Amino acid sequence: MTENSLHRAVADFRLHVYAVIARVLAHLERMAGATETPVDWLQAFPFLAAYRSLLAQHEPADLPPDLAWAWWDLQVAAGGAQAQPDGHLPLRALRSERGLSDDDVRFLIGAGLVEEDIRFGALFAALQEPLPARRPCVGLLGWLLSRPDGESLDAWAISQRLLEHGLLTVDADRRGDPRSEWVVQVPPALWDALQGRVVEQPAPGVVRQSQRSFPPVEELILPPALQARVARLPELLRGGHITALVVRGMNGSGRRTLLGSVARSLGCDVLLWRGDKPERPDDEGWRLLGPLATLTGSVPVLRCDPAPGESLDLPRLTGYRGPVGIALGRSGGLRGPLVEHSLSLTLPPPDRDARRRFWQATGVPMAEGTLEEVAGRFLLTGGHIHRAADLAHAHALLAGRREVLLGDVQQATAALNRQVLETLATHLEPAGGWADLVVAEPIARELQALEARCREREALRERAGPAFGRSLNRGVRAMLSGPSGTGKTLAARALAASLEMDLYRVDLAAVVNKYIGETERNLNLVLSRAEELDVILLLDEGDALMTRRTEVRNANDRYANLETNYLLQRLETYEGIVIITTNASQRIDDAFLRRLDVIIDFPAPDAAERRLIWQMHLPQAHAVSESFLDEVANRCALTGGQIRNAALYATLLARDGCPVSDSHVEQAVQREYRKAGAAYPMRAGAGNGSQLTRVRQYVQSLG
> Is the pLDDT assigned to residue 266 strictly greater than 50?
yes
Residue 331's SS3 state is: coil
pTM: 0.83
Tell me which amino acid residue 410 is: Q
Does residue 171 surpass a pLDDT of 90?
no
Would you say residue 1 has pLDDT above 80? no
Please tell me the predicted confidence (pLDDT) of residue 215.
94
Contact status, residue 231 vs residue 217, Cβ threshold 8 Å: yes
Rounded to whole angstroms, the Cα distance separating 22 from 145 reads 9
Q: Above 60 in pLDDT, residue 515?
A: no
| Segment 248-252 mean pLDDT | 90
Q: Please spell the DSSP secondary structure of 334-372, one letter per residue.
A: EESGGGTTEEEEEPPPP-HHHHHHHHHHHT--B-TTHHH
- Element spanning 539, H or E: strand 536-539
State how far the Cα of 272 lies from the Cα of 82, in Å rounded to an integer. Answer: 32
Q: For residues 321 and 228, is the Cβ–Cβ distance under 8 A?
A: no
First to last CA, the chain: 109
SS3 497: helix
pLDDT digits (tens, 9 = 90+) for 565-584: 777 778 888 889 999 888 87
Give the pairing of strands 536-539 and 577-582.
Answer: parallel
pLDDT value, residue 130: 87
* Over residues 518-530, mean pLDDT: 82
Q: What is the rounded average pLDDT for all residues in the chain?
A: 85
Count Cβ atoms below 10 Å from residue 573 Cβ, excluding itself: 13
Query: Are the C-beta atoms of residues 435 and 483 closer than 8 Å to each other?
Result: no
Q: What are the pLDDT digits (tens) for 27-60?
A: 888 876 555 555 678 888 999 999 999 999 999 9
Average pLDDT over residues 345-351: 92
Q: What is the pLDDT of residue 689?
A: 46
What pLDDT was estimated at residue 88? 80
Closest residue by Cα to residue 488 from 626, 583, 393: 583
Q: Quickly state the pLDDT bin for 438 (edges 50, 70, 90).
A: confident
**Does residue 115 register a pLDDT over 70?**
yes
Closest by alpha carbon to 308, among 455, 494, 10, 522? 522
What is the distance between the alpha carbons of residues 427 and 413, in angstroms, rounded to a whole number?
13
Residue of 7, 175, 184 lying closest to 109 (CA atoms): 184
Dihedral, CA atoms, 530, 535, 536, 540, nearest 10 degrees? -40
| pLDDT at residue 553 tops 80 | no
**pLDDT tens digits, residue range 195-232?**
988 788 988 889 999 999 999 999 999 999 999 999 99
SS3 string, 473-537, reads CCCEEEEEECCCCCCHHHHHHHHHHHHCCCEEEECHHHHCCCCCCHHHHHHHHHHHHHHHHCCEE
Report whether pLDDT(546) > 70: no
Between the alpha carbon of residue 613 and those of residues 645, 646, 666, the distances in Å are 11, 11, 16
Looking at residue 414, its pLDDT comes to 86
pLDDT band, residue 518 (cuts 50/70/90): confident
Calculate the alpha carbon distances from 549 to 232, 385, 554, 562 in Å: 47, 40, 13, 9
> What is residue 38's predicted lDDT score, i.e. its pLDDT?
58
Distance from C-alpha of 418 to C-alpha of 193, rounded to nearest angstrom: 40
pLDDT band at 436 (very low <50, low <70, confident <90, very high): confident
pLDDT band at 24 (very low <50, low <70, confident <90, very high): very high
Q: Are the C-beta atoms of residues 383 and 255 closer than 8 Å to each other?
A: no
What whole-number distance in Å separates Cα of residue 136 and Cα of residue 124? 6
How many CA atoms lie less than 13 Å away from 217 in the CB half-sphere? 17
Contact 366, 403 (CB under 8 A): yes
**pLDDT average, residue stretch 507-512:** 69
Eight-class DSSP state of 238? H
Backbone phi, psi, residue 50, to 5°: -65, -40
Give the CA angle between residues 403, 406, 408 to the nearest 5°. Answer: 70
Question: Over 570-606, what HEC string results?
Answer: HHHCCCCEEEEEECCHHHECHHHHHHCCEEEECCCCC
Residue 487 zone, left/alpha/beta (φ > 0; ψ -120 to 50; rest) = left
Given a cut of 90, whether residue 558 has pLDDT beyond it is no
Alpha helix positions (H), 35-101: 41-44, 46-58, 68-81, 90-96
From 89, 62, 63, select the one nearest 76 (Cα to Cα). Answer: 89
Query: How high is the pLDDT of residue 71?
Result: 93
Is the Cβ–Cβ distance between 186 and 168 less than 8 Å?
A: yes
Give CA–CA dist 660/550, Å, rounded. Answer: 52
Q: Indicate if the pLDDT at residue 516 is higher than 50.
A: yes
Split at pLDDT 50, 70, 90, the class of 697 is very low
Task: Read off the pLDDT band of 310 (50, 70, 90).
Answer: confident
The region that residue 567 occupies, defined by phi over 0 for left and psi between -120 and 50 for alpha, beta otherwise, is alpha
Alpha carbon distance 405, 395 (integer Å): 9
Buried b vs exposed e over 84-121: b needs ≥16 C-beta within 10 Å? eeeebbbbbbbeebbebeebbbbbbbbbbbbbbeeebb
Q: Count other Cβ atoms within 10 Å, centred on residue 402.
A: 9
Band (pLDDT 50/70/90 cuts) for residue 690 is: very low
Cα–Cα distance, 620 to 643 (Å, whole number): 16
pLDDT in tens, 439-491: 889 999 999 999 999 998 888 877 777 776 666 788 899 999 988 888 889 99
